[in-house]
Structure formats: C-alpha cells, structure tokens
Amino acid sequence: MTIQCDVLIVTAPYTETNSPLQAPAVIKAAVMNKGYTASTYDINNDFLKMEHTDPVRFNALKDYFSFGTTNDKSKIPSIQSYVKDVCEKLLQKFSPKRIAVSVFTYQCQQFSEMFAKTIRQMDPSIKLIFGGQGIMTQGMNATDKWVKNLQQRNVIDFYIVSEGENAIIDLLQEGKGHGINNTDWKQELVLERSPMPDYSDYDLDSYGGDRLLITGSRGCVRKCSFCDIHKHWKKFVFRSGQSIAHEMIKQSEKYKKYRFGFTDSLINGSMKAYRNFITIMAEHNKTAKNKITWEGQFIVRGIRSMTEDDWRLTRESGARTLLLGVESGSEAVRDHMKKQFSNQDLDEFVEQAYINKVKLEFMMIVGYPTETLEDFQDTIDMFDRYRKYQSVIHTIGLGSTLSVLAGTPLAEENPELRLNDSENFWTHEGNKDLTFRERIRRRILAGELLQDMGYTVDNNLKQIQTLHFLWGVYKNNQKQGVMADITTGEVKDQKYS
C-alpha cells in the first residue's frame, strides 16, 4: 500500500555527507505543523551506499551529476536507467500530490532535472517543486536562470528561493509568495521560529556519521573574498545559546543520538551566544548518562577574544571537532582573503585546543589566485611547525583546488582574474605561473608532503581522482590540444608526464 501525502520531500544527489540533511526534515515539520501530511525520502543516502556496492557505476554517476558531463557517452544509458529506477521506486512507495526536491548544491542540479522530467512522464498530475541553495546558478547570490527556465518549460511547477520552511506554507495556502518563482525572498531574522527537524521517516542508524545536524546561525561575521555567503544572507542572525542547547537535549532524548553537527558558517560568531551555549551544555554533561558531543565550523580567535575559561567550557560542553577555515599558512594570502587573523592568533588557538584536547580540522585552499611558490611553502612550513600538535589536528581538508564562484568578491573585484567560463579553469593576469596544471601540481604535492609528515588528509584519493577528471575535461575543452596528462609519480620533482 502506497503512502499518501500532500508533500513528499526528497534529497537529490550528489552531496557527500554522513548525516541526514536538515532541510527536508525542517520542511516536513513546518508542513505538518499547519495540518498537511508530509513524508521525506533521502535519495542521496541511497546513492552514497552505491559507492560500496557498485563503485564503478557510482563514480560515473557522481561525475555526471556533479559536473553535467562525461568523457564516455556510452555511460549515458546507464545514468538514465538509474534515474528511472529511482523514480519508479518512489512512486511504488508514495502517492504524493506534490514532490519537493531539495537541491542542496549546484552539483545536485543535473540529477534533479533528470528526476523531474522522468516523474513528469510517469505521473503528470504530481506538482513538482524545487528548492535549496543549489537551484541558483554558479553561487548562492547568482541568478535563478536555470530553475526559472525549468519552470517556464513545464519541467517543474514551482521553485522556492530561500527560507523554505516559510515559503512552502505560503505555496500550499496561497500558491504564491516571497521567494516562490521569484528571487524576492525575505530573510527570517528570528531563527527560534523554525521548527525542530522531524527525522521520523529516516533510518538514522543507516548514516555512517551517527549524528544529527543543527543550525544556530545564518550568515557570517566575516566577508572572505572567495565566499558568497554574505551576498545571500544579508545579516548575520543567530539563536540564543539556550535555544540551541534546548534543541540538542530534546532531539537527543527523542532520537537517541548524542552527536550533533552544526551547519553554521561559524559557531562562535557571537561570543555572547556561544558562551551561553557552552555553559548550559557543560552543566548538562556533568550529570547526563549519555554526554552530548558536537562539532562545527569555527573562527580562529586569539586568547584575548577566546579566553582560557571559554576553552575549558568548550571542552566540557562536548566539543568534538572544530573545523577551522585556516586556508593558508601565508599571512599575505590570508590578508587578501580577508580572514582577519594573524599567525600569532592561530598559534594561540592551536595551543589552547592542544591543552584542552579539542580536535581540530584544518580546511585549506591550495592555489588561491595570489598564491606564490613562497606562499605555498609557508603553508607546508606551518604544518611542519605544528607536528607537535598532531594529536589534536584530526584531519586536514585540502579539497581539490580553488573554484572561483560567481558573485564572490574574488570574482567581482579582481579585474586581473579571468573565469574562462568555468569556476575551475580560471587564470590570473597578475600571477601567470599559477596555471590550472600548476594548481593541480601544488595540490598533489601538498597531499603527499602532509601525509609524509603523519597528517591525515581528508578524502585525498577522491580529490585526486576529481582533479584527474577535471583535467580530462579541461584538455577536451582546449582549442589547441593539451596532450599531457598528470601523474603523481614525479610531482616532487615538479614534473609532468
């Protein structure tokens, strides 16, 4: 018997995560609070499991969904077959009046479009709604061109731009409103109004991270050059520490999950709210049978801003891992990024984390447009100095290489930067030695050197595979053929095969 519902909210691949994404669960709670019926289904979680059961097909699908292209057109029928199978499975289990697709990033666009076209063919009576930051083309503050075109071609019926838990109610009740088939959305300034996520449809034990997500703020107090978050969320808004702690405690009691991950761009944007949160959670953990732990993105603050007492409460509140946007070991590069912290601030921060045994993950950027070889060496030297802190430097995220998003200060305020119709294949007239090949070389070299030092580089092999894929796309797109391939064998000698 199929499950009938007013709205079925699904999560589109591809997003690399080991937790159920929060948006569908929040949308479900909001819809049900108004008396409608709703169900959720995580297609992305099913997709991620394929990496272990059928890795060859998984990688082909992942590349196609992420980049909208493939070097082997013979794989297209298999990709189409996968999407059809997903749609058939959903319509066997559910009988929805509407399907709302959570398009988490632009890398979910390709699947979402194929999914909508297939559902439309199978059951034209179902209304299709797209929402999520991924519906915007090339960055959160860019255009709704892609999704508007889908709506005009009747591939979908509606799209929602931001604040989905409010807009979905307007859509169900009025059929129109702010952010519905337009970009005239309004930012919610009181986050306590959002309902707690409803995960009752999920098999939470099937997620490898064994954690729930939580949002304490939107926006950021920084305006980093490579980031477009501040162009979308005009104001940095945050919940009280008491509100965040209350949700953690209630959700842990309901779902028996005691690990939480913050979705915030930064947890400690407001030190007043942060201190309130860690004080309550430290007190809770003193007597709790199951102590709550948490992790999330953090700003580097020196000891004058984040005191020794703050660090003690951070440890006692259950801080598991702090993800730091360090980006570079070069102060010159960080200054251009507008990161607003010095090497001394970073030294003090890492020292306190080490004293309090709080794990750190360094998030780095290799190949920033102004990065010279000397700047790159500063990064390597920084990690060499920090070997004494390896017990708390949990992992290093090197990513692939810097992608320049449209709508960021880096893209809009640097006349010497040429995007070349791609966020990956940009060039910089003021730093011509930093070609795409050179950025890849530095990225591979950084991974090898840091691993030689004993650090764990997060998903290093996957990122290298992505770079090889992008290099293949890059070669095929060149008017004058680029015949060289990239290998890692001689990279330390700065050579290419």
Q: Report CA torsion sign: 164, 165, 169, 170.
A: negative
Report residue 495's pLDDT band, with 50, 70 and 90 as the boundaries: very low
Is 10 within 8 Å of 41 (Cβ atoms)? yes
* Confidence check: pLDDT of 32 > 80: yes
Separation CA 346–CA 379 (nearest Å): 13
Separation CA 387–CA 53 (nearest Å): 37
Give the residue among 109, 94, 90, 85 at the shortest CA–CA distance from 12: 109
**Would you state the pLDDT for residue 137?**
61
**Would you state the pLDDT for residue 475?**
79
**Would you state the pLDDT for residue 325?**
95
Residue pLDDT, tens place only, 132-189 = 988 986 554 457 899 999 999 999 999 999 888 899 999 999 999 999 999 888 888 8
**Would you state the pLDDT for residue 431?**
95
Report residue 331's pLDDT band, with 50, 70 and 90 as the boundaries: very high
96-119 average pLDDT score:
96
* Confidence check: pLDDT of 271 > 60: yes
409-427 average pLDDT score:
88
312-324 average pLDDT score:
97
Q: Which two tokens stand for residue 441?
A: 């070389």
Q: Across all residues in the chain, what is the average pLDDT?
A: 91
Q: Which two tokens stand for residue 255?
A: 């779902």
C-alpha 47: how far from chain center: 17
**Would you state the pLDDT for residue 142?**
57
- Entry pTM: 0.84
C-alpha separations of 202 from 206, 214, 304 in Å = 9, 16, 43
**Would you state the pLDDT for residue 68?**
80
**Residue 9 CB partners (closer than 8 Å, separation 6+):** 24, 27, 28, 38, 39, 40, 41, 99, 100, 102
Q: Which two tokens stand for residue 384?
A: 């060499």
* Confidence check: pLDDT of 484 > 80: no
Q: At residue 106, what is the residue type?
A: Y
End-to-end CA distance of the chain, in Å? 59
Residue pLDDT, tens place only, 380-407 = 999 999 999 999 999 999 988 888 887 7
Separation CA 431–CA 34 (nearest Å): 56
**Would you state the pLDDT for residue 192?**
80
Domains and CATH numbers, the chain: 3-174 (3.40.50.2300), 211-493 (3.20.20.70)
* Confidence check: pLDDT of 46 > 90: yes
